[in-house]
Amino acid sequence: MANTAPEVFTTEPGEAYTEVDAGAAKHIDPMLLGLAPYQWVSIAMMVLLLIAFFGAKVHKTIGGGLDNRIAAIRDQLDEAKKLRAEAEALRDEYAAKIADAQKDAEAMLANAGTEADAVMQRAEEDSAEMVARRQRMAEDKIAAAERDAIKDVRNRAAQAATGASRKLIAEQHDAAKDRELADEIIGGL
């Protein structure tokens, strides 16, 4: 056979020999039963693979392992799909809750504004009523003070008049004039 070995294989010194033929050198590779070393390696690999696939039924074990791995991957994918569906459902649920919370917050804000306006209006009414009530109370106090002042002035005037009339009567009337006056009053009756 005229097979040449790949460049990777080398021969040990003494195994290969060179033959010189009419001045041209010819290299001869070591051979066993007419096969080169790389051919023996190929045959050994082929036998090993045949034993592995047919003798030990490794192909079934490998196929079963691959089938199991495929089933596990499918289960993981199915579980991932379920988890994704649950996550999307939760996301939608929380989005709806957020939207409801925003609506509730807007309603609460509007309600608080309305209540604040009502409180302000009530406070304005109460303050106006309180001012009017205090004004009435002040007017009542002023009127009472005026009445008391007028009463006091009248009392003082009456006392002054009484005192002055006593003094005048004491100075200008004597016993004779008192009789004349008494007679006049009795005659007038």
| 16 DSSP 8-state letter | S
Model confidence pLDDT, tens digit, residues 69-117: 999 999 999 999 999 999 999 999 999 999 999 999 999 999 999 999 9
Return the SS3 of 15: coil
* Cα 163 from chain centre: 90
Model confidence pLDDT, tens digit, residues 14-44: 555 555 555 566 767 777 788 888 899 999 9
**Half-sphere exposure of residue 131: CA atoms within 13 angstroms, side-chain side:** 5
The dihedrals phi and psi of 33, each to the nearest 5 degrees, come to 50, 35
- As a whole number of angstroms, the distance between CA 27 and CA 21 comes to 11
**pLDDT category of residue 65 using cuts at 50, 70 and 90:** confident
**Residue ranges of domains in the chain:** 1-54
- As a whole number of angstroms, the distance between CA 3 and CA 28 comes to 10
pTM of the model: 0.35
